[in-house]
């Protein structure tokens, strides 16, 4: 009989890279910061990747104050060379790589296909899709040589339920592509014992969203569950997919949306 994994410290001995690990826009924690903090609480050594040092350092300070181990890696994950440097720094500092959480995303503007400019399409593809590709192409060989690992890509419910009224075709397309990337990678690297899964966040309230002055009450009432989605909800989902408890799980797309995708009409 296989022993049940130790749920007290589910990521003990693991090294994790979290891109977009800083919190943008104010107090509280974003999705990437929450995942990084939860990983550290569960025993992982965490590499905090962000384009802004102050944002990543804020996450690092939380982890270190709680007795965890993390370091900041400043990088533009749309740049392949900088992604290679992050992976090599992780291996040099911590001795290996077991988890990659591709959390970077953005570029929600642009409008419909007849309105969006070339730069809107390129920006969305670069930020939402190529960032995950760039990090993964350098992480996979290190995971393979270490016996396997877990890669978690972050998409959006927008991939399945686009915002109405010409909101952002480039964003929807790029987030849909993240789902396809996840499934292709899951098959391509299954024999390497590398699991690849996708989280599809719903209307999550984060400091970054608050800074954009989005109506908070609308988000609360847009889901069947009478609770507000927070960055921690994404962090806990990422923990499961990163842990050995998900050893037989690969290629899935997990909505964390309070039931938003179950409702019949866009909000």
Catalytic residues: 171
- The three-state secondary structure class of 151 is strand
Please say whether the beta carbons of 73 and 48 come within 8 A. yes
* Beta bridge mates, 200: 255
Q: Give dist(CA 60, CA 36) in Å, integer.
A: 9
Q: Give dist(CA 209, CA 149) in Å, integer.
A: 31
Q: Give dist(CA 156, CA 198) in Å, integer.
A: 9
Q: Give dist(CA 214, CA 195) in Å, integer.
A: 35
Q: Is the dihedral of CA 157, 162, 167, 173 positive or negative?
A: positive
- Structure token pair of residue 23: 């919190």
């Amino acid at each position: 009989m296989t022993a049940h994994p130790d749920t007290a410290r589910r990521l003990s001995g693991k090294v994790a890279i979290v891109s977009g690990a800083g919190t943008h826009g104010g107090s509280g924690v974003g999705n990437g910061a929450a995942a990084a903090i939860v990983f550290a609480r569960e025993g992982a050594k965490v590499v905090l990747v962000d384009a802004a040092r102050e944002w990543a350092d804020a996450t690092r300070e939380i982890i270190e104050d709680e007795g965890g181990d993390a370091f900041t890696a400043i990088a533009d994950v749309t740049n392949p060379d900088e992604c290679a440097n992050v992976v090599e720094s992780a291996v040099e500092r911590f001795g290996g790589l077991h988890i990659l959480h591709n959390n970077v995303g953005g570029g929600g503007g642009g409008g419909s296909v007849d309105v969006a400019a070339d730069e809107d399409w390129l920006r969305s593809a670069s930020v939402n899709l190529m960032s995950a590709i760039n990090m993964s192409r350098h992480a996979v060989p290190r995971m393979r040589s270490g016996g396997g690992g877990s890669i978690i890509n972050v998409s959006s419910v927008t991939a399945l339920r686009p915002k109405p009224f010409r909101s952002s075709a480039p964003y929807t397309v790029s987030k849909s592509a993240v789902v396809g990337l996840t499934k292709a990678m899951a098959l391509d690297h299954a024999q390497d014992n590398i699991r690849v899964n996708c989280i599809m966040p719903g209307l999550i309230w984060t400091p970054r969203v608050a800074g954009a002055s989005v109506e908070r009450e609308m988000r609360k009432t847009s889901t069947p569950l009478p609770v507000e989605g927070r960055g921690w909800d994404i962090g806990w989902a990422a923990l499961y997919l990163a842990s050995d408890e998900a050893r037989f799980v690969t290629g899935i797309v997990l909505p964390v949306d309070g039931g938003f995708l179950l409702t019949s009409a866009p909000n």
